[in-house]
């Protein structure tokens, strides 16, 4: 087999695993969008905030320490204890639920019935707000996140591919873990939406707010639930990306990567988010591999968007979205 083809296979495999990560972030978007019609730009910042909070809790940092020191002239930074990873994750999940309640209570409850584009812009505001809060709470330095996920090259894949092609593929254990976690999470969410009472309520609200309200579903409750779920998806995404490349501002930009995924997959489709994620992951990896060197590289900055843009012109509802019928 020619070398180029073998490299391309490795690139594709890595692209697929990356695509799973994109799909994971995209999933958070789909959840909120389906249940409330809100296109949540803040999803990425939520992942950043979740990861920052997790690290902060793990290391026993004092929230708003920087601010307190500045105001009172004190010099406190740590509580002096360390919290085990699992407990820290659970505590962070609680924080995300708290955030969901606050966001619903103070912002989105007041925006019910607004045009989607207004809601979208409100979430951009929320993203800025949350980013500021995150920086105030935990500082804006780059942090290492380690909850004990396996890292580094996967030896068995390396060995198997070496035997097959005479060239060992470099596949990171973390990517494999992320793919597994994402799959489990997606399966869990689908099961939740299909088979539980809350899930049914969620789908009913997604279909028609008014009708759901009239059969006695509490809208507020469902929306808080959905925002909480999105917060937990953000936490998982934050852990994965954070373990991979550290917790820093650029983590929030990953959310932007999920946007073209959604445009491909359609905003309302969970399978769409997954397949869209995989297409983007593989597509941008292969494009960078094949064309990137010729035109200066770093094409993954824009490839996904341009692909989605071109695609949308021909199919505005995405791959799996419902067909848009215009009426007057």
Partner 1 sequence: MFYREAGDFKTSYADDSQTFPIAFDRYRYYAVLAVALGIIPFVITDYWASAILIPFLIYAIAAIGLNILTGYCGQVSLGTGGFMAVGAYTSYKLMTAFPGMDMVTVTLLSGAMTAMVGVMFGLPSLRIKGFYLAVATLAAQFFLVWLFNKVPWFYNYSASGQITAPERLLFGHAVTGPNAEAWVKYLFCLAFVFVLAWVARNLTRGAMGRQWMAIRDMDIAAEIIGVNPLRAKLSAFAVSSFYVGVAGALLFTVYLGAVEVGEAYGIQKSFLVLFMIIIGGLGSLFGSFAGAAFMVLLPVALKVLLVDTMGWDTALATHFQFVIVGGLIMFFLIVEPHGLARLWSLAKEKLRLWPFPH
Binding site for partner 1 (CB under 8 A): 39, 66-67, 70, 107, 110-111, 114, 116-118, 120-122, 124-133, 135-136, 140, 256, 259-260, 262-263, 295-299, 301-302, 305-306, 308-309, 312-314, 316, 326, 328
What DSSP letter does each residue of 158-194 carry, written as one string?
Answer: HHHHHHHHSS----BHHHHHHHHHHHHHHHHHHHHHH
Q: Which residue number, 12 or 114, has a Cβ lying nearer to partner 1?
A: 114
Shortest CB 311 distance to partner 1, Å? 10
Q: How far, in Å, CA of 38 to CA of 46, rounded?
A: 15
Shortest CB 135 distance to partner 1, Å? 4
Q: Which residue number, 88 or 103, has a Cβ lying nearer to partner 1?
A: 103
Q: Which residue number, 194 or 301, has a Cβ lying nearer to partner 1?
A: 301
Q: Which residue number, 155 or 322, has a Cβ lying nearer to partner 1?
A: 322
What DSSP letter does each residue of 192-253 carry, written as one string?
Answer: HHHHSHHHHHHHHHHH-HHHHHHTT--HHHHHHHHHHHHHHHHHHHHHHHHHHH-BSGGGGG
Shortest CB 305 distance to partner 1, Å? 4
Shortest CB 78 distance to partner 1, Å? 19
Q: Which residue number, 215 or 295, has a Cβ lying nearer to partner 1?
A: 295
Q: Which residue number, 154 or 269, has a Cβ lying nearer to partner 1?
A: 269
Shortest CB 289 distance to partner 1, Å? 17
Q: How far, in Å, CA of 296 to CA of 199, rounded?
A: 47
- Helix (H) and strand (E) counts for the chain? 13, 0
- How many CB atoms sit inside 10 A of residue 202's CB? 24
Q: Which residue number, 169 or 303, has a Cβ lying nearer to partner 1?
A: 303
Shortest CB 310 distance to partner 1, Å? 8
Token pair, residue 156, equals 């068995």
- How many CB atoms sit inside 10 A of residue 80's CB? 8
Task: Reduce the DSSP state of residue 105 to 3 states and report it.
Answer: helix
Shortest CB 31 distance to partner 1, Å? 16
How many residues make up the chain in this entry? 328
């Amino acid at each position: 087999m020619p070398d180029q083809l073998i490299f391309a296979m490795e690139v594709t495999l890595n692209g697929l695993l990356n695509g799973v990560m994109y799909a994971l972030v995209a999933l958070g978007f789909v959840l909120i969008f389906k249940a409330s019609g809100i296109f949540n730009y803040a999803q990425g910042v939520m992942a950043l905030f979740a990861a920052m909070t997790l690290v902060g809790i793990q290391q026993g940092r004092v929230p708003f320490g920087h601010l307190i020191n500045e105001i009172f002239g004190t010099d406190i930074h740590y509580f002096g204890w360390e919290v085990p990873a699992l407990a820290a994750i659970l505590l962070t999940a609680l924080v995300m639920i708290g955030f969901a309640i606050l966001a619903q209570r103070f912002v989105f409850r007041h925006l019910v019935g607004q045009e989607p584009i207004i809601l979208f812009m409100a979430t951009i505001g929320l993203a800025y707000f949350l980013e500021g809060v995150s920086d105030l709470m935990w500082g804006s330095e780059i942090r290492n996140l380690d909850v004990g996920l396996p890292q580094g090259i996967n030896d068995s894949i390396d060995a198997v591919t070496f035997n097959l092609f005479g060239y060992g593929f470099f596949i990171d254990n973390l990517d494999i873990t992320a793919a597994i976690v994402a799959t489990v999470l997606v399966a869990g969410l689908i099961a939740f939406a299909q088979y539980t009472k809350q899930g049914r309520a969620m789908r009913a609200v997604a279909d028609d707010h008014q009708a759901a309200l009239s059969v006695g579903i509490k809208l507020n409750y469902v929306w808080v639930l959905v925002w909480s779920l999105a917060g937990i998806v953000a936490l998982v995404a934050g852990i994965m990306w954070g373990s991979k490349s550290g917790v820093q501002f650029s983590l929030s930009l990953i959310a932007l990567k999920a946007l073209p995924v959604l445009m491909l997959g359609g905003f309302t489709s969970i399978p769409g988010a997954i397949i869209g994620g995989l297409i983007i992951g593989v597509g941008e990896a292969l494009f960078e591999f094949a064309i990137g060197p010729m035109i200066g590289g770093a094409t993954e900055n824009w490839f996904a968007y341009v692909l989605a843009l071109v695609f949308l012109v021909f199919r505005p509802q995405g791959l799996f979205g419902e067909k848009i019928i215009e009426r007057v």
